[in-house]
């Protein structure tokens, strides 16, 4: 007798056939283009936003740290929620939260409400951050590598174009439009994923899939998963410090706000290239060690340039930081690449990303506090150079060519 599912609408391993290739790619594109713009658009107008609400550096530190901490909190809840509701429904719910935050946030009257709505934006993004790699693993079929490539590239593009909205508007209240414009792709995301929900129904894993050995072994029992967590966390910490504070570093070096905005956009633009290149490299390369070393070295060199020659060749330092940002698509692509089952992929993502983002969230808070006390960047940039070196050392081990399913089975 054929085995029946606990979920009558569950489509099982062949569910990917229910979605046409165009709809698969449209669904991933709709999510990926929203994964950074709602966050990276804040940095270039941070000074104007704080002035509008009469807020100070400590609140700026909270705003820039919010992505890391909420990514951690929501990431911990996203996988259990997806195990009950299904990956598709949970991602769609996150899209609704992102849209609500983006469409309302610029028009409120107090910093407290602004921060709550920023929390909505980040919470919805966090759900997609954690679950989309597993969704691609489950439904992508033979398109999986291509979908991960699109995901990584457009995630970088989202981070790159987000700051540019600050250049599109002028006059009083321009910062509101620079933030509010990102509600447009967010509402498109909601519409696309409502269609996907109708097509797929409940794609939660069967009970035997969710509890089978070695899936009930704690993820921390896998050494590779632990190294991947710290690699991801250190890279994300640097990314959120850059998204929140890089334009201010340029301003404090005596450069214009436009230069700071373009520098941040350049960093994000290079992440597009990283997203295009790294999934294919991970799938084909025998070793990733040289790449990780180059990326970490570029990050350290970018910070050193800002420290020692911040007013000279400012876009060169941003270029180097952007090359260093290739560590992010590397870490993201390693999640499905180093796991076999889509359930392990979901649990690995729900381990690496939440705890990694918790580590990442401490960075902007510490930077905000240090900057508020000292008003300078020298010591902060020295510490960031050290973090880049540590990221490289950990990243070499995180990229080892092993399968985490096998490590979990061996430790059971």
Give the Cα separation of 332 and 385 in Å (integer): 23
Under DSSP, is residue 267 helix (H, G, I), strand (E, B) or coil?
A: helix
DSSP state of 143: G
Q: What is the tens place of the pLDDT at every residue in 263-309?
A: 988 887 887 888 788 877 877 888 888 989 999 999 999 999 999 98
Q: Is residue 31 part of a domain?
A: yes
Q: Domain residues for 280? A: 15-411
Q: Is residue 5 part of a domain?
A: no
**CB-based contact 259:132 (threshold 8 Å):** no
Look at residue 17 and tell me whether its pLDDT is greater than 70.
no
Q: Is residue 220 part of a domain?
A: yes
Q: How many domains does the chain have?
A: 1
Tell me the C-alpha to C-alpha distance, in Å, between residue 253 and each of 249, 306, 308.
6, 9, 11
Max mean pLDDT among 135-149, 222-236, 241-255 falls in 222-236
Q: What angle do CA 301, 305, 309 make, to 5 degrees?
A: 160
Q: What is the tens place of the pLDDT at every residue in 314-367?
A: 899 999 999 999 998 888 878 888 888 878 887 888 888 888 878 887 888 888
Q: What angle do CA 209, 210, 216 make, to 5 degrees?
A: 115
Q: Is residue 353 part of a domain?
A: yes
Q: How many CB atoms lie within 10 A of CB 396?
A: 19
Look at residue 404 and tell me whether its pLDDT is greater than 60.
yes
Q: Is residue 316 part of a domain?
A: yes
Q: Is residue 2 part of a domain?
A: no
CATH number at 79 reads 1.20.1250.20
Q: Is residue 155 part of a domain?
A: yes
- pLDDT band per the 50, 70, 90 thresholds, residue 23: very high
Q: Is residue 282 part of a domain?
A: yes
pLDDT at residue 6, as a whole number:
36
Look at residue 11 and tell me whether its pLDDT is greater than 70.
no
pLDDT at residue 205, as a whole number:
65
pLDDT at residue 207, as a whole number:
56
Give the Cα separation of 404 and 336 in Å (integer): 10
């Amino acid at each position: 007798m054929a085995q029946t599912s606990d979920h009558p609408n569950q489509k099982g391993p062949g569910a990917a056939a229910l979605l046409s290739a165009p709809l698969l790619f449209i669904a991933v594109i709709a999510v990926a283009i929203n994964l950074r713009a709602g966050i990276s658009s804040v940095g270039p107008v941070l000074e104007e936003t704080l002035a509008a609400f009469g807020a100070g550096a400590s609140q700026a530190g909270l705003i820039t740290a919010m992505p890391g901490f909420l990514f951690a909190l929501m990431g911990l809840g996203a996988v259990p929620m997806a195990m009950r509701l299904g990956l598709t429904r949970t991602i769609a719910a996150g899209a609704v939260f992102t849209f609500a935050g983006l469409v309302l946030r610029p028009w409120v009257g107090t910093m407290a409400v602004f921060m709550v709505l920023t929390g909505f934006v980040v919470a919805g993004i966090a759900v997609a951050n954690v679950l989309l790699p597993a969704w691609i693993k489950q439904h992508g079929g033979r398109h999986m590598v291509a979908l991960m490539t699109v995901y990584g590239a457009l995630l970088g593009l989202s981070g790159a174009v987000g700051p540019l909205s600050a250049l599109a508007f002028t006059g009083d209240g321009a910062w509101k439009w620079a933030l509010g414009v990102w509600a447009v792709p967010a509402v498109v995301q909601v519409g696309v994923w409502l269609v996907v929900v109708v097509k797929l129904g409940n794609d939660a894993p069967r009970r035997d899939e969710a509890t089978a050995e070695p899936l009930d072994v704690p993820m921390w029992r896998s050494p590779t998963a632990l190294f991947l967590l710290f690699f991801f966390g250190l890279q994300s910490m640097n990314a959120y410090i850059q998204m929140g504070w890089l334009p201010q570093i340029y301003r404090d070096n005596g450069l214009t706000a436009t230069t700071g905005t373009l520098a941040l956009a350049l960093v994000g633009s290079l992440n597009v290239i990283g997203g295009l290149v790294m999934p294919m490299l991970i799938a084909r390369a025998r070793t990733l060690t040289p790449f990780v070393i180059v990326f970490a070295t570029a990050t350290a060199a970018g910070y050193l340039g800002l420290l020692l020659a911040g007013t000279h060749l400012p876009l060169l330092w941003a270029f180097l930081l952007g090359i260093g940002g290739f560590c992010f698509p590397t870490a993201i692509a390693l999640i499905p690449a180093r796991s076999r089952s889509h359930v392990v992929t979901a649990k690995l993502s729900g381990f690496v990303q939440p705890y990694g983002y918790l580590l990442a969230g401490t960075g902007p808070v510490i930077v905000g506090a240090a900057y508020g006390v000292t008003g300078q960047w020298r010591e902060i940039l020295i510490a960031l150079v050290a973090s880049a070196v540590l990221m490289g050392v950990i990243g070499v081990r995180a990229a080892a060519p092993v399968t985490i399913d096998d490590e979990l089975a061996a430790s059971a």
